[in-house]
Structure 1
Amino acid sequence: ARLAKRKGIKNVCVTNGYMTEETLEAMSGLVDAANVDLKSFREDFYRKYCGAHLGPVLTSLKKMKDLGIWVEVTTLVIPGLNDDMEELREIARFVYSLGPETPWHISRFHPQYRMTDRIPTPADVIFQAREAGLDTGLKYVYVGNLPAGEEENTYCPNCKRLLIGRRGFSVWRYDLEGNRCPACRYIVEGIF
């Protein structure tokens, strides 16, 4: 990470967020952005399925923001485990507490590996969760792991202009001038 920083390369950390304060402090100044999995908003989920606790993940997210690390949150929505709309609203409210500019990625579950006993997340659940995030006041809420349209894209929160067009893992449009919308000059928060 130090060598990359010296060369002007940005560092991104993809993590479950289960870190010590010492680790987070060591990341400061080296990591530009982090995508953190917030798997559930229930302690029992974290204990049973992750062998961990929810509290340290929430603390890590807050600490990263305090350290100036750009944070994005991802939630994989699993039928019967964390797909309750009230729980998803709680996650949205927590993400909003990190700042309304914090992106929230809501991903569809597909049965694989050790969890083949569940169906894929119904698309309408993912879209409802996205609406809940937008209703909470989040500026950037995305859907993942399913064919989508505008729900994958980044729009200017001010004038609603399409800024970044995505299809799956491909970007087909990139229309930012630095961190600004070219139409209204709104500053779009993020690491670009």
Structure 2
Amino acid sequence: MSVICDLCFHHCNLDVGQTGLCRARANQHGKIAPLNYGKLTALALDPIEKKPLRRFHPGSLVLSVGSFGCNLRCPFCQNAEIAAAGADASTQDCSPEALVHKAVRLQERGNIGVAYTYNEPLVGYEYVRDCAMLVHEAGLCNVLVTNGAIEEEPWRALLPWIDAVNIDLKGFTEGWYRTLGGDLRTVQRSITLAAQVCHVEVTTLIVPGENDSEDEMRALSAWLSAVRADIPLHISRFFPRYRMTNRSPTPVETVYRLADVAREQLRYVYTGNC
């Protein structure tokens, strides 16, 4: 019996035993099951600024967790070893209860909560949801770092448990998003809905020759400003990675120039990796 996964816009139609494009969700006995539930590939106490979040509890630390899988196919992925991995990834088991216990113990070191990050956390939606509820019960914060490629219903259901989110807005053309296996309008909707509920920051990685024009940045920042002019935008520099090792890094002057363009519309613009 085949079944459709309705978590993201791909709507993978999976036969029994088949795994979706994200490599983290499968048809098991006629139901969609998250293969990465409680399977962690990374666990670290990070500065909140590393997410990056610049205007949410600055100077604090957050327990950051990652699993495996992603529903996009970015050729420049910085965490491809886990984002492009499937159930054969090297993991450690960690239940939601165990994770929250770790987070609470780390409060004495400055931990404010849990950040779901490194791979695309939303392909492990059920784990994020279950952890987030317990994190709030413990009086801690939930931070989400995501590509925003999620359908509206599950996104709305999760947002009440999220305190801060950084969403990748990878560019502002449908063509570039198609190259990455994504959908621009879905991400725009995710940003808009999140901005109504929690603290939102946005990151755009500038890839030379792909999304580095002033016109595109002007359109992106104008749209983001229309959502909320005080949403911080992080403009990041591309470095050769994964399947784009034949490209040169983004010129530093390009990042600064595009940041100036974004500041025409936005109150808070930050540059990264320069």
TM, length-normalised to structure 2: 0.51
Where do residues 1-150 of structure 1 align in structure 2 (5 Å cutoff)?
1-48=132-179, 50-66=180-196, 68-136=197-265, 138-146=266-274
Which consecutive residues of structure 2, in runs of 5 or more, have no partner in the other structure?
1-131
| Residue equivalent to 1:152 | none
Runs of 4+ aligned structure 1 residues displaced above 6 Å come to: none
Offset of 1:4 from its aligned partner?
A: 0.7
Measure, in 2, the Cα distance between the counterparts of 1:110 and 1:65: 29
Identity percentage of aligned residues:
41
Q: Distance in 2 between matches of 1:117 and 1:65?
A: 37
The equivalent residue for 1:157 is none
Unaligned 5+ segments in structure 1 are 147-192
Larger Rg: 2
Mapped to 2, the partners of 1:73 and 1:16 lie a distance apart of 10
Q: Secondary structure at the match of 2:189?
A: helix
Give the CA RMSD over aligned residues.
1.0
SS in 2 for 1:72: strand
Aligned equivalents of 1:123, 1:95: Cα separation in 2 = 23
- Counterparts of 1:80 and 1:90 in 2: how far apart (Å)? 17
CA-to-aligned-CA distance 1:133-186 (integer Å, 9 cap, x gap): 1112x111000011xxxxxxxxxxxxxxxxxxxxxxxxxxxxxxxxxxxxxxxx
How many residues matched? 143
Normalised by the length of structure 1, the TM-score is 0.72
Measured after TM superposition, the shift of residue 120 of structure 1 is 0.5
Secondary structure of 2:236 counterpart: strand
Which residue identity does 1:44 align to in structure 2?
A: G
Question: How far does residue 64 in structure 1 lie from its aligned partner after superposition?
Answer: 1.2
